[in-house]
Structure 1
């Protein structure tokens, strides 16, 4: 009788006792590959569990074995001919798959003497064995099906095939790859070094006053952990900033390139092109001065870098920006707000870091304790040395340790590079070549692209990269980007130079432009150089033009920066085939990167035969370009990048490039046709057609792209995605912003898709198919009305984005998506009724946003939630959120307008002790719970429409408090000592704000539409207040106090206002807006305002004069509207760019009109006397200024220039 096999359950695995679990069929492999592998793992200090399935009896997997499977980080089934004959092997395999699904445990199969397809499809002996189990009728159909599913799942995974390889070499490769995978699993950025104390020091200096601009400098010798510390602080602060930039490798990057990267990252504009440093400084000042930025400038070594990027002492970024500088030279940090010196780690932390890399745990193995302590002392507390040397010794025996430490002891402590060089010398020739390539050229590059060149050069990158990463000489970071520590990068540079006897012409790699020109001028240099980066300038052109031919016989990588090419460059050269007349011969060239490639150049065919990567992005090439014919010689081409080639209307014939793996045509704005020959690209993995706006159709031959994994068609004009049955490997399909896309058939690729984006399209029905592998689904802005019940098959889905679409309900099957982490269904107007109660089953859900929907009822939510946004209508009932103890960010806005919906009870809110941000808006809410002040971690609080007459005591750690539309009459903030921002608006009953004068940390104060507010306390003590905005407080008579830090002041619509703050408050003022204050007769203090940049004075009927503005040397914008008594504007306004004067009928004179040399925009209306005198010679320069275009306004000009206007 068939019976189910029993498996004893264990809890979620804790810290693994084993690192690797081996599953194998004893008679097939015990005395063969299994024994080789197990012994090699133990010798490499990898904790491995080896199961002998033949020794077991009974019908159950016991708890010890089950624990071994579940607590291992990696499981390795060794598939041999008779593996499926063993029920135990099959049971183990089912458990591996279960652990993979539940906890992400990795499975790496070895295909010993069978093909993956036999395992996957149960053919050959596997099919016979499964049928045999079935025929015996000892096991249920469900058990048999579980076995088949597990075989199918694992058979699809990437692993190792033995085939005809020698077992010793094969085992060695497996162990090497396991070592790097186990190391990656163990280490994280935050755990690389124990830096809590240093992080805390910086965070304490920054404090919670995020509105204060600050520059922080971190200095210390190379390898001490400066970059790591900056990264940790950057990551901690990132959430508070809309604009961010991390400039790494500053030492070796040209300043103009750094400026381009800074501006592009902050403005999210990929293709800005700064051509010189001065232009870059101007652009940074103009574009970023109103942006709140978090910026890291890593490894600065020249003052010119800081002058060009941040200008220490200047204000180039918006209020609240944070700049972190790392350098080895403390002298460069003069003028920064805070300096921190990093020194070596103490012995305890050093031993911990060393052990993590040498043993993959926090302490050494007992038999290596003495040797480990010795190694730690040699490393002198330097994290990089501890990491690199620990990695070098990982898996080695005692003899190797002793020999290595003996060699290290001979090197003085201060000679860090010599110690690191030992790791370099231990590499093979190919590994050294790759390491030096990365150090000199490829930091930040996608390793998947660079690998093509190394493969072509037979550097064996697969294994070499594993060794380099295992030994901590390189890292492969997020996005598959290569990274090398700056100390190791410098080591690589020094090795290249020393090997060449410090002679550039003997160097194999040249990365400096000046040296590159020198090298290219000598025959010896042309012969020796293998990789070079050069600028396309007149020096380079002259050098090539004067030669009959240039032969670079060993060059494999050529990068030409053509960013400065202009009409002058073009005219300097003949318009004929330049390379044909003066050919450059590059017989070994593998990679040509020449953005803005000049079309009058011509390849030589001999230079293309070995080419594998070609980047001609942003070039002027066309369909008729002669180079297409020459490119047919590049039979081995793997990567072709034509991004931004705006004159390209049709792609070339791809018939000669059947090895192509990546084709990038992004932002080819005129592209209308992809050639049908694309179907011949059987190896194509990536096709990028993003923002080819005129592309309306994809060829039918796309179906033949059987290797394609990533298809990007965002922003195109395609109308249909047909069923491509051949794309069985497609993992990413991104078709966002395809406004005409209405049909999409994904049946052919649904099982393999991991990422699907159909947002902002016309898709109205979700495509059919089995999307069991899908991880992210984006449907925002589409016409989708419902999600199918088949969504239950999306067992791997983590992100569901359905904003602003026509969705009417969420299916109950959504509760089956155990891995779902984020749902955003905001702005779905048609989404009504109740959220399915099954949502409580989503144990991984962290983020839920349901703003502006028709949802009426929220069920109990899972305790895993950390971020929740509920903005409801009058029908939504307030949920009980008392179980959400992990909630950090809550936005709850509900409307109660009918008797059937009384004001909600929020008694549960005090239990949410982890809350950091809270926005509460519940119409009709009369009371807040008394334990509200117990939310000790709350930093930001927004109260909207609260009807309570007096607030309870608020959490005293608040740094931001906003109150809008509330009914209280007195607001007491005297106890909120950490408050830095206060906004109070639309509170019609408010008559007094108590304790305002005690808010010593207050930096920003906004008061708006407070009709009963009569007075404010003296604000003299608010030494940190830099922004003050008071709007439409009609009974307010005066603003008292001396505000010496004030930079931005706005007083609008205060009809009773008679007195401004003390004149010394204007000393540092940058922006001043005074309007609609009918009783104000004068504005005193502007005569001392040296930093004033923008002045707007409007609707002041009693104002007769302004102070002399001569000292306002930075004044660029001046607006004077409807001041009928104003007679004269005094002062030399040398920096003024925009002048707008309306309705000032008495104004007849500027004391020095000739000083307005920089005037660019002039806007004068309803000023009869002034318009008359404009005809005089004295005002002739004004006529050169442009007029504001119709429909524009000075307010809009000011806002675009200065950001948030006061």
Structure 2
């Protein structure tokens, strides 16, 4: 393939980017005229089955249009022809479009006649009703005349009609002509005209063109437009800016990385991102705008394909032939070519763009050593842009910087979708929910938005629903083909890693995903980084995310070999497919992983036989949630490493099951009474979760599970004792016994476990008075102890608590039972390393001053107690959470820390969580930051409380912004406070009255400001007279944003004072952008029917926060 043929080829789908594909030639140089390019292009032989020249004669015509398209509007305007016009426009091809309905009257309108005469190329779209239109036939006759008197060409396209029908005027065309000729039977002139129409139809139908019946329109249009581009040849044109949605800010960012304003800096910048995200469009847009500023400029398209077809010599010839203006240059080898590149570029100020590089060798053989190229060859101010899906290639080559092309913002995605699907700049109300579903799934991917949007144009609401339902089952091939390129480049092990993440692990913690993939034998430490480099996954704050379209790709790859037989797949994730496999009850060898979740409301409505699991011999991963089984379970695969089965229906695991390979065993809400008889080899077991198994009467012997790190038995209400083998678990870090109400004793050895960091015995009422606690214990490593809601008949305090805090024996005691329930704390705690202290609802009447000396304290929960004052807390510089709600006797609030230092890394429990269980072990306030003062009716000086709370909240936001230490994986605002107050401070410069408890933060242009970091909101709410409790919490209209409750605990104390409260919360920039829709971020007040009050919003305000706002 010559360089002209290669340069003239249209860009492949994978480089659509936004919705524009350039029609300009791949190379432009100052020393070549447009006419030279035109002559060169037309000297190339064109495909015989594409577009043919009608006549070799020529005449001079002033062309004002590139293309004139003749079509029957009612047949194709809202489908094929509409899409064709879009594709032509994206290519910068100026096509005449009859937007004014000029086909009126008996003769061709002057505007139509002029457009035909002034066009360089003609496209005739033949459809069933084309011949029934007199205006279409007259257009055709005029086009035929123009083609006969000039060197212009006609492209016939047979949309839904057989070419022979057009050629012979048979079938529906015969019917149309019969009607015309009957109408003209007494008019000889018109009868002659009808005869010319027949001749024109016959001649044009004999031309080679496209028969697109029963073929994918998208692919056919791309092929047609490419041939049109080749016929028209290169031309100087500006990009259609109105089509390049969201491009301007990206172009500027790329210019900044290239230092385009500098005349001296030589820069090499890479552009990376997932397929179809807009890499080529971005580079081409910038290239066209600045190429005239350089002595030499070149845009080489699809380096990968050229390299495969003709090795590095092809790449070097393309570059050198342009610099030398020689078409027949011979290069013997790559080294000679590299030297020629260096010599010809010597001291030249060059702009070079290399598109679609997929191997670092392509760059080395093309330009040689990067440092030598920059130091000895390129002149000052030269720029090189390298486009690759693999960031590792760019880094290996040594680029100065990499620009990662991100998905479109929500506003730009909406704008692009509207242009393609609705042809207006807004979403019609009837289509709003459906449009939101499309955009949520596309996640800002421009190619997907364009393809799906275009397919929906002109359809009714019911047709949209049908199309989207079908799209869920059968993904768009044009989109999947683009994305699959990156997958096909992966090694086999990395492909398996990709498929596992696509099917199961989107949103999971990195450490957890790596652990499972390591067990599966996929070497994730290397493989996951490969996926990151290729933009197939992202790692945000320690969590792994995959674009929904890539998840679709992965799942379609798993299904592709046997789409109708899920029992032959390697992975199962869909409930219906799993049900299908279980119903056949056949032996299965290929299936290795099952992660299935049934919708909660469907649990119990469908049942499957459990013995089907006995036939899956190679199963390594089994996670089931809300799946209802019947029958018996005779066997489980001995290859299982991860077994999660919520609501496990049987009393024990199958006797034949050998759990030697188990790493994680979770049977929450199960019917199990005991796991197994005797001792099992459990050398690999790290996590055991039997929580809420209400029939569990015996904890298994775990003496062989020496790697066990976590045991969760919360809510096992029949469990009376803990197996003493737990004292052998030297790696045990977490032991959760919350609400084990019948538990009467603990093994003495538990408190000798040096790794034990978390122990919850909250709600273990029979345990508090047990004498086993009386002996001293080693608790120096314990970081979290939950002892909540101590029983009112508690007369003594477990000695291990006394020892941990070094408090005297009267740590807690009760007054006379006739007096109000109250407790006292001693005055001299000495546990300075304590990070969290939770004494909620412990009936404390006094907090000792020494608590202010716990300098490592980060979170202090004192809600539901009876003290009136607090000690000085100003020295607790690490404190970022204080909860005082339901402290009904509290009168005075002490000074808060004047400066807040958040930890460099938020304390994480030493075991991985999946998203579904994240935070379940810990208390409700686990990932909060802020001040909670709610239902404290005796509190005085509330104005000071308000100003101090806002000031402290800003300090926390400042620390969060500076150190990035609060996790960004939670759904709502991390920083939020509730304090008494009835007026919004003036600092909130956007204030509104609430209507129907609705709060709306409207999108604003400030979101484009780089200094903007987030938004702080203030809501004033009060108690109403209704018999229902309503409380404020965010409501997100987009389906992928779940609800997050505000920090109110109304379970233990549902009372509420009459005065108003102020709810403050903060969204970081990232959180706000991710959770809004095209209108902004809206909040509502959902119902909570368990309580006897109602809360209504009176007013609200918000402030866009900039970095300068954090300077106090």
Shorter-normalised TM-score: what interval? 0.3 to 0.5
TM-score of the pair, normalised by structure 1: 0.34
**Whose relative contact order is higher, 1 or 2, with alpha carbons under 8 Å and at least 6 apart?**
2
